[in-house]
RNA sequence: CGGGGUGUGGCGCAGUUGGCUAGCGCACCUGCUUUGGGAGCAGGGGGUCGUGGGUUCGAGUCCCACCACCCCGACCA
């Protein structure tokens, strides 16, 4: 490939909308082009890298028995009605009608479609287990996209679905898939990927893990224990906080707190601190008022709240919505509410901390000396509703937890029978009985993985691509083509030989300054660079340079091919498996 | 959905007390000179000034509406 033919102009200036270092480089290098909000075209450089990511995924999925299929982007609404998600999933699913006014959706995931596929093709226990996967476009109408390819609305995803007769079989396969994911992320060149316990969200199911690239530009918060290896998404992370109470219990007592609404205002006014306050956070979940009570120094974790309520539909409460259940915004407390009209949820920080200040459900009034055990009806349930914080004791080993950010590049779920049961997928078991298969699903964002590689592997001049997914493995820079007319043909010959030997080679023989040429080469990021200049010509030499390392060396051109084969092998070996 | 911001050539921007053929840098084309970290000179091509309407002798510039995109928040496998 000649660089002048490569579609995708490299930009001299930084695009002003670039959010992250990787986004900036992908735009500047002419890898991607934004078409709309969260919608991008992939130009040849990005498409090449993505194709290689896909090929690695294919190899690893096939290696664990996956069968590649392709399901449609568009589905009739009926399939999503069958599972119930047509109603439960919100506006992130794009809905429309076709010319016959038939309601359709753009699939944002394919559980419904794959169950429909499987139930019409699988009847017997003999056919289990099996896994099908596809690499297909998804559309999710995210309320907000950002960060280039890290968070987009339309994207390519590898999604796999496995079906099993027993939970044990699913669990075993889940482990296999987990191991395949570890291999995939290592082979594409990501180093700091960790698997963490995750929320099951709208997917349902019980066990789930996310594969996260540790990165400051990530949107998720990871909770990690360096001592024992506990790691979880903050949405589900637990900690072993203790609430050792040594204080004598105080009696309940009302106190006037004029216009003191926030925890900060109330505790300052009363001369106490947030660990002695009860924070009431009001939501509406599935249309019913809900108050979450957490101690004043903690934050409500909405994912945990959703789980406790068993709904995905929650929103903050508006001020007018407090009166019907007997309270008022800013002064909400657990005593005296009409519990036929409002759901109360208590975090254990409230249940176990003594002598808390609570709202008295009346304007400018609080109550002191609240003690959960004493003041609430026996048997009132206690939940875990709060965010884990930096330094909290690990739930497994008690050592301090660490928080960091991460980009979710993949996830795996044990779904159980949520979809197979809802959609009446049954097969005949050995004993003749009808059974419902148990399902797992496994996703990897292809574009996001490619973009994550850049986030993790770059300098200010450009990406450094791992050999396994580099758009071009070798770039040949011909310097001084005007001064010495043998340079360009020599570069051409080398290009042809290396291409014939199976390398992806980009040849630059333009009459431009060396700085210009090298700057372009840095943006393209080929791991191996061969530089030819007039001074190499008489000696039959060429210069070999790696994108990642400064040392350059001259080598005889005759040996270039052998050296490169060896070099590529070495680079690939570092990624865990020889690149084909 | 709430708050804020920006729309002028491929990219980055100036021009906005209304006034001539709408400019600059980079990129692009032609020629010459250059050539080891974004070269120089000369010439050249390219723009419905986001869209629609209005005010005016005259609108990139003023008014109204709309649209797109960006940021913060809400939201989210």
Structure tokens at A247: 């204080």
Q: Name the closest nucleotide to A513, judged by C1' and CA.
A: B35
Percent of chain A topping pLDDT 90: 74
Task: Reply yes or no on whether the pLDDT at A205 is more than 70.
Answer: no
Bases in strand B with any atom closer than 7 Å to a protein CB: 1, 10-13, 25-27, 33-39, 68-77
Residue nearest to nucleotide B37 (CA to C1'): A515
Spatial contact of A330 and A361, defined as CB atoms under 8 Å apart? no
Q: Name the closest nucleotide to A202, judged by C1' and CA.
A: B77
Q: Give the pLDDT mean for A314-342.
A: 87
Residue with tokens 């393209």: A524
Same domain, A149 and A115: yes
d(CA A285, CA A305): 9
Q: Considering the domain boundaries, does residue A491 fall inside one? A: yes
Residue nearest to nucleotide B75 (CA to C1'): A143
Q: What residue ranges in A12-73 does DSSP mark as E strands?
A: 32-36, 39-42, 66-68
- What is the domain-level CATH number for residue A485? 3.40.50.800
Residue nearest to nucleotide B71 (CA to C1'): A17
Q: Considering the domain boundaries, does residue A376 fall inside one? A: yes
Q: How far is the CA of A509 from the C1' of B31 (A)?
A: 20
Same domain, A368 and A512: no
Same domain, A357 and A434: no
Task: Reply yes or no on whether the pLDDT at A565 is more than 70.
Answer: yes
Same domain, A295 and A203: no
Residue nearest to nucleotide B12 (CA to C1'): A13
For the stretch A419-477, pLDDT in tens is 999 999 999 999 999 999 999 999 999 999 999 999 999 998 999 999 999 999 999 99
Q: Considering the domain boundaries, does residue A2 fall inside one? A: no
Q: Give the pLDDT mean for A187-195.
A: 94
At how many degrees (to 10) do helices A446-456 and A21-28 cross? 100
Q: Considering the domain boundaries, does residue A405 fall inside one? A: no
Task: Reply yes or no on whether the pLDDT at A580 is more than 50.
Answer: no
Task: Reply yes or no on whether the pLDDT at A577 is more than 60.
Answer: no
d(CA A212, CA A377): 42
Q: Considering the domain boundaries, does residue A365 fall inside one? A: yes
Q: Considering the domain boundaries, does residue A408 fall inside one? A: no
- What is the domain-level CATH number for residue A296? 3.90.960.10
- Reported as a pLDDT band with limits 50, 70 and 90, residue A578 is very low
- Reported as a pLDDT band with limits 50, 70 and 90, residue A147 is low
Q: Give the pLDDT mean for A82-94.
A: 90
Q: How far is the CA of A17 from the C1' of B31 (A)?
A: 38
Q: How far is the CA of A317 from the C1' of B73 (A)?
A: 16
Residue nearest to nucleotide B26 (CA to C1'): A12
Question: Which of A401, A428, A455 is the last residue in one of the domains?
Answer: A455
The per-residue pLDDT for A262 is 86
Task: Reply yes or no on whether the pLDDT at A322 is more than 70.
Answer: yes
- A514-534 burial, b if ≥16 CB within 10 A, otherwise e? eeebbbbbbbbbbbbbbbbbb
Same domain, A277 and A345: yes
Structure tokens at A319: 């001020």
Residue with tokens 């996830």: A411
Task: Reply yes or no on whether the pLDDT at A418 is more than 50.
Answer: yes
Q: How far is the CA of A146 from the C1' of B5 (A)?
A: 16
For the stretch A503-526, pLDDT in tens is 999 999 999 999 999 999 999 999
Spatial contact of A361 and A326, defined as CB atoms under 8 Å apart? yes
Q: How far is the CA of A345 from the C1' of B74 (A)?
A: 22
d(CA A299, CA A188): 37
A295: containing domain:
253-383
The per-residue pLDDT for A19 is 81
Q: How far is the CA of A233 from the C1' of B71 (A)?
A: 26
Q: How far is the CA of A448 from the C1' of B6 (A)?
A: 27
Domain total in chain A: 3
Same domain, A32 and A171: yes
DSSP A269-315: HHT--GGGBEEEEEEEETTEEEEEEEETTS-B-HHHHHHHHT-S-EE
For the stretch A352-373, pLDDT in tens is 999 999 999 999 999 999 999 9
The per-residue pLDDT for A579 is 40
Of A503, A490, A484, A500, the residue nearest A556 (C-alpha): A490
Question: Which of A455, A486, A513 is the last residue in one of the domains?
Answer: A455
- What is the domain-level CATH number for residue A54? 3.30.930.10
Same domain, A258 and A297: yes
Which range in A6-20, A29-43, A122-136 is most confidently predicted, on average pLDDT?
A: A122-136
Q: What residue ranges in A396-520 does DSSP mark as E strands?
A: 402-416, 427-428, 434-435, 438-445, 458-459, 462-463, 474-478, 505-508
Same domain, A451 and A521: no
Residue nearest to nucleotide B76 (CA to C1'): A142
Q: How far is the CA of A531 from the C1' of B74 (A)?
A: 53
Sheet holding A528-532, edge to edge: A505-508, A474-478, A528-532, A541-546, A549-556
Q: Considering the domain boundaries, does residue A61 fall inside one? A: yes
Same domain, A205 and A285: no
Same domain, A378 and A446: no
Same domain, A288 and A356: yes
Task: Reply yes or no on whether the pLDDT at A23 is more than 60.
Answer: yes
For the stretch A239-268, pLDDT in tens is 999 887 678 999 999 999 998 888 888 999
Mean pLDDT, chain A, rounded, equals: 91
The per-residue pLDDT for A202 is 61
Q: Name the closest nucleotide to A522, judged by C1' and CA.
A: B37
Which range in A438-447, A537-546, A566-575 is most confidently predicted, on average pLDDT?
A: A438-447
Same domain, A64 and A206: yes
Q: Considering the domain boundaries, does residue A247 fall inside one? A: no
């Amino acid at each position: 490939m000649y660089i002048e033919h490569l579609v995708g102009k490299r930009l001299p200036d930084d695009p002003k909308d670039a959010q992250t270092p990787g986004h900036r480089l992908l735009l500047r290098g002419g890898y991607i082009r934004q078409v709309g909000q969260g919608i991008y075209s992939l130009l040849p450089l990005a498409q090449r890298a993505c194709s290689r990511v896909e090929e690695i995924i294919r190899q690893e999925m096939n290696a664990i028995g996956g069968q590649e299929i392709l399901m449609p982007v568009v589905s009739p609404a009926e399939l999503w009605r069958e599972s119930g998600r047509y109603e439960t999933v919100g506006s992130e699913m794009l809905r429309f009608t076709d010319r016959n006014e038939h309601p359709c959706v753009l699939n944002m995931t394919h559980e419904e479609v794959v169950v429909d596929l499987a139930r019409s093709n699988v009847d017997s226990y003999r056919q289990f287990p099996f896994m099908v996967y596809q690499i297909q476009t998804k559309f999710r109408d995210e309320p907000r996209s950002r960060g280039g390819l890290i968070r987009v609305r339309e994207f390519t995803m590898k999604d796999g679905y496995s079906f099993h007769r027993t939970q044990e079989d699913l669990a075993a396969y889940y482990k296999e898939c987990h191991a395949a994911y570890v291999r995939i992320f290592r082979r594409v060149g990501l180093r700091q990927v960790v698997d963490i316990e995750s929320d099951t969200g709208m997917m349902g199911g019980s066990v789930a893990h996310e594969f996260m690239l540790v990165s400051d530009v990530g949107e998720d918060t990871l909770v990690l224990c360096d001592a024992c290896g506990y790691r979880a998404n903050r949405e589900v992370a637990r900690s072993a906080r203790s609430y050792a109470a040594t204080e004598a219990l105080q009696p309940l007592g009302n106190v006037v707190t004029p216009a003191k609404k926030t925890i900060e205002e109330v505790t300052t006014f009363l001369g106490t601190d947030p660990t002695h306050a009860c924070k009431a956070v009001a939501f509406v979940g599935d249309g019913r008022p809900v108050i979450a009570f957490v101690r004043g120094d903690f934050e409500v974790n909405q994912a945990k709240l959703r789980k406790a309520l068993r709904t995905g539909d929650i929103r903050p409460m508006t001020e007018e919505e407090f009166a019907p259940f007997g309270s008022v915004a800013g002064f909400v407390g657990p005593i005296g509410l009409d519990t036929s009209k409002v759901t109360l949820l208590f975090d254990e920080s409230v249940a176990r901390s003594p002598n808390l200040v609570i709202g008295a459900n009346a304007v400018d009034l609080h109550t002191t000396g609240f003690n959960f055990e004493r003041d609430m009806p026996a048997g009132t349930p206690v939940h875990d509703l709060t965010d884990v914080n930096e330094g909290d004791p690990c739930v497994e080993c008690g050592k301090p937890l660490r928080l960091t950010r991460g980009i979710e590049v993949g996830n795996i779920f044990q779904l159980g029978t949520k979809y197979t049961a809802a959609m009446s997928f049954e097969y005949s078991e050995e004993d003749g009985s009808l059974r419902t298969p148990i399902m797992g699903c496994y996703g990897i964002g292809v574009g996001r993985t490619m973009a994550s590689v850049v986030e993790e592997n770059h300098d200010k001049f450009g990406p450094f691509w791992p050999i396994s997914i580099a758009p071009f493995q070798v770039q040949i820079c011909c310097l001084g083509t005007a001064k010495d007319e043998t340079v360009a043909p020599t570069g051409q010959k080398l290009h042809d030989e290396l291409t014939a030997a199976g390398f992806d080679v980009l040849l630059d023989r333009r009459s431009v300054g060396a700085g210009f040429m090298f700057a372009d080469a840095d943006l393209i990021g080929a791991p191996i660079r061969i530089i030819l200049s007039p001074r190499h010509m008489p000696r039959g030499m060429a210069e070999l340079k790696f994108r990642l390392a400064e040392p350059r060396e001259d080598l005889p051109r005759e040996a270039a091919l052998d050296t490169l084969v060896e070099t590529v092998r070495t680079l690939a070996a570092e990624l865990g498996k020889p690149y084909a």
